[in-house]
Chains A and B, each alone.
Chain A
Amino acid sequence: MKPLVQATPSGLFCPPGDFYIDPLRPVNRAVITHAHADHARAGSTSYLCAREGMALLQARLGPDARIETLAYGEKTTRQGVGLSLHPAGHIRGSAQVRIEHRGYVTVVSGDYKTAADPTCTPLDPQRCNTFISESTFGLPIFKWPAADSIMASIEDWWRENRDQGRTSILFAYALGKAQRILAGLDPDGGPILCHGAVARINRIYRGAGVHLPETIHVDDIQDKALWRSALVIAPPSADHPAWMRRFPQRSRAFASGWMRIRGHRRRRAVDRGFIISDHSDWEGLMATVAASGAESIGVTHGYRAEMVRWLQEQGYEAEALDTVDRTGDEER
């Protein structure tokens, strides 16, 4: 039997259903797992995503994009192929794509995490015949510490800086990571400032009823004395002198799974690295693969070759699917 999902130059393609998942180039019908830039690209004729992620995708693609939605678990068909979206726990609205054709089920994971996240619906593993998993952190060196211990160390760092009169600047990806961190912060810890890119996404999250502590747009600050006690959340792209010079006394930190590796932290030349990721660590990946009950595993972006070999040694039928280059990876 031909595989239900194939890797093509335009991305993952389902031939019998005639749709692409997170296509790399404009196509007719695109199913989008989540609204990060390396998964949701503009230019396709029509889009389908999870309802929870609709507003985020519309914001990414612009008001003219034609987007249909499905509630998590709701079923639809495309040319006789069953299609449904299930929570992936990566960011708000992120989905796994479940495809069923003639009794055979393939699930494409998109990006996912097993760890808890107050800003989105948690991962709901699906039973299937073929599971196509991401592998961004597919090496056993990646083990995430408990999220509350990381949140506690972020607050310790903030407190220490505040005592020294330094602004705490935390770089985090504007969509998902920033809100997850915000949701975990003590609202009485001091003023929380957000870069414009983060503030934009906050509005969408709040509009959907996600509770975030009060934040102030960096440009709206009049009282400069506030800066010295503030925590600033900004995307990594803001880490350049033109934007940073407004905070003369500062400590810089970066929140990412890559901070698990000392060399990555040192390369960023930040004072602190907080290991907090919206992807699964090695154990999370393995647990999710096992929970799928699939006998056949496809592995996309990340440490494909390594994860494939490991799964093969564990008795799975596994292959690498060459889809995405890593350059747009949200975590980098």
Chain B
Amino acid sequence: MKAFAALYRRLDATTSTNRKVAAMADYFERTPAADAIWAISFLIGRRPRRVVPTRQLMAWAGARAEVPEWLFEASYDVVGDLAETITLLLPPPTRVSDRPLHVWVSRELLPLKDMALEARQQAILDAWDRMDVAQRFVWNKLITGGFRVGVSRRLVVRALARLSGIDAAVITHRLMGDWTPTADTYRRLLAADTTDADTSRPYPFFLASPLEQPPEALGSRDDWQVEWKWDGIRGQVIQRREQIFIWSRGEELVTDKYPELAAAAAALPDGTVLDGEILPWRNGRPLPFGALQRRIGRKSVGRKLLKEVPVAFLAYDLLECGGRDRRSDALAQRREAMARLLDRAADDRLVLSPTIDAPDWKTLATRHAESRRRGVEGFVLKRLSSPYGVGRRRGDWWKWKIDPLTVDAVLIYAQRGHGRRAGLYTDYTFAVRQGEGLVPFAKAYSGLSDAEIREVDRFIQRNTRERFGPVRAVRPELVFEIAFEGIRASTRHKSGVAVRFPRILRWRRDKTVAAADTLDALQALLTTPGHEPGS
């Protein structure tokens, strides 16, 4: 566990991905398989469930550190991280253990969940007493279920690929699905024979770049295919050798999460790969994205959820057909082949992504204005003659997004942030005017520069009117332009509306509170083509 804690420190101490990869490769090289596999398991985010309720953990740590509850909370507020707060407050250990990681996990961590409360408390106090600060922090992250260290699965894979010389895609594939972290698994992970991985391997996704010029600059309308920009999960559906694989863009194998798509894909001919979007879908139109979020979080999907949030795959492109890589063909040809394929499959869960017929750019702009009402984010423009590229290469694919909705709102509450923003006031609540008063309508955390955050933090420190626990009510004076993607009526909010993905667009230093928008103006957005469909 010492070596793993040291790795955590090294990863945490640098923002350079190269140094992170080097630190991991170095660790894997020197670590026995039984430990390395647990490290991989934690690093790629297969973290154990939280075994102790936060409240209890706080109480135990507080008692051990002889710190009353309120002082623990005040400390937590400043540190911004529970595992770290506990680590910093506990008295030094009486003895430090040299147990390897896999022994800690199998003998100490995993048994916790089946223990009676008192035994669990004893085990945790005892563990704290045998660890130095670095180990404690990692341990606390593990038992609170919050283990994260700023490396992606991709970086872990890169480190393993560098160490073993095996192709990253093969390792990615081998890390998918269910596996038990044993020394054997580790050996299989780095085995030299790679035929196992070829069947499921997806292609790298091609991504559209934001359109920053008028579409007319793209030349003739006739050279372009125009599709709606759907707001779902980008994915690839693969049918090879009677096996179905569904990958999300995050390189995650999600086949089991979308059984209805897997069933539909079975009707595709052998050796087919489709690129498209997974969408919550009913009666030929999308449900709000929030519905899909209910499915994203689930490992297994119950019958009820399948019925409430059915999904469809909007097919954008055909990457492989009859086992042949079609990516260098022109888009027009690929699309034609795909249309035939989907026609034969005849399954309403595999939908050919519709193209927009409009004779010229001007007419297209009119159609573009329908986006919000349709629950899409605008258009994607693809050059009909283009091959399917890799990554975000400018030129052939463009996303023409709709502008977000905006209002000018007043900062009224602030709370300290977490992680990198711990200790600074970065979590804000914004209000609009109503008569003489102000009504809160949204919280936003992002959009300001670091320098602006520090300036707002200073303002908050000097202009606090009241404190409610960690929340400060501040003098309403600063006005910000708040952007959001959608708005709907809500009985659960004081303002009567709920907005989607609010963020700070800019600080309106030129505006006073009197010039901020009113609740009427905000609610008026409900009736313009502003609200999400189906909500």
Interface residues of A (CB under 8 A from B): 139-141, 143, 260-264, 266-267, 269, 271-272, 303, 306, 309-310, 313, 325-327
Contact = CB atoms under 8 A, between A and B. Distances in A.
B191 interface: no
Contact of A139 (B14, B15, B78): B78
Contacts of B15: 269
Contacts of A267: 420-422, 424, 450
A170 B132 CA distance: 26
A120 B458 CA distance: 32
Nearest to B66: A140
A266 B81 CA distance: 13
Nearest to A309: B70
B461 A264 contact: no
Interface string B67-79: 1101100110011
Interface stretch (B32-40, B84-92, B161-169, B328-336): B84-92
B78 A261 contact: yes
A272 B13 contact: yes
Interface in B1-31: 12-15
B84 A261 contact: yes
Contacts of B74: 139, 303, 306
A141 B79 contact: yes
Contacts of A141: 75, 78-79, 85, 88-89
B92 to A, nearest CB: 9
Contact of A140 (B89, B423, B424, B461): B89
A306 B422 contact: no
A20 B253 CA distance: 69
Interface in B419-442: 419-424
B65 interface: yes
A263 B423 contact: yes
Given A141-B85, A325-B461, A327-B461, A263 B71 contact: no
Nearest to A327: B458
B71 A140 contact: yes
Given A140-B75, A141-B89, A143-B88, A263 B65 contact: no
Nearest to A263: B422
Contacts of A264: 422-423
A267 B81 CA distance: 14
Nearest to A142: B88
A139 B75 contact: yes
Interface of B: 12-15, 65, 67-68, 70-71, 74-75, 78-81, 84-85, 88-89, 418-424, 450, 458, 461-462
Contacts of B422: 261-264, 267
Contacts of B80: 261, 263
A88 B461 CA distance: 28
Given A141-B79, A271-B13, A309-B70, A266 B462 contact: no
A263 B88 contact: no
Contacts of B462: 325, 327
- 8 smallest CB-CB distances across A and B, nearest first, come from A263-B422, A141-B88, A266-B420, A141-B75, A306-B74, A267-B420, A263-B80, A139-B75
22 contacts: A139-B75, A140-B65, A141-B78, A141-B79, A141-B88, A260-B88, A261-B80, A261-B84, A261-B422, A261-B423, A262-B79, A263-B418, A263-B422, A263-B423, A264-B422, A267-B420, A303-B74, A303-B78, A309-B70, A309-B71, A327-B458, A327-B462
Contacts of B14: 271
B130 to A, nearest CB: 19
Contacts of A260: 88
A140 B62 CA distance: 11
B81 to A, nearest CB: 7
A269 B79 CA distance: 17
Given A263-B421, A325-B462, A327-B458, A140 B67 contact: yes
Given A261-B80, A303-B78, 12 more contacts: A139-B75, A260-B88, A261-B79, A262-B81, A263-B418, A266-B12, A267-B450, A272-B13, A306-B74, A309-B71, A313-B68, A327-B462
A263 B88 CA distance: 13
A141 B82 CA distance: 12
A272 B12 CA distance: 10
Contacts of B85: 141
B65 A266 contact: no
A267 B75 CA distance: 18
Given A140-B67, A310-B71, A262 B13 contact: no
Contacts of A271: 13-14
B486 to A, nearest CB: 32
A326 B457 CA distance: 11
Nearest to A326: B461
A254 to B, nearest CB: 12
Most buried by B among A140, A141, A272: A141
Contact of B12 (A139, A262, A306, A309): A262
A266 B357 CA distance: 50
Contacts of A261: 78-80, 84, 88, 422-423
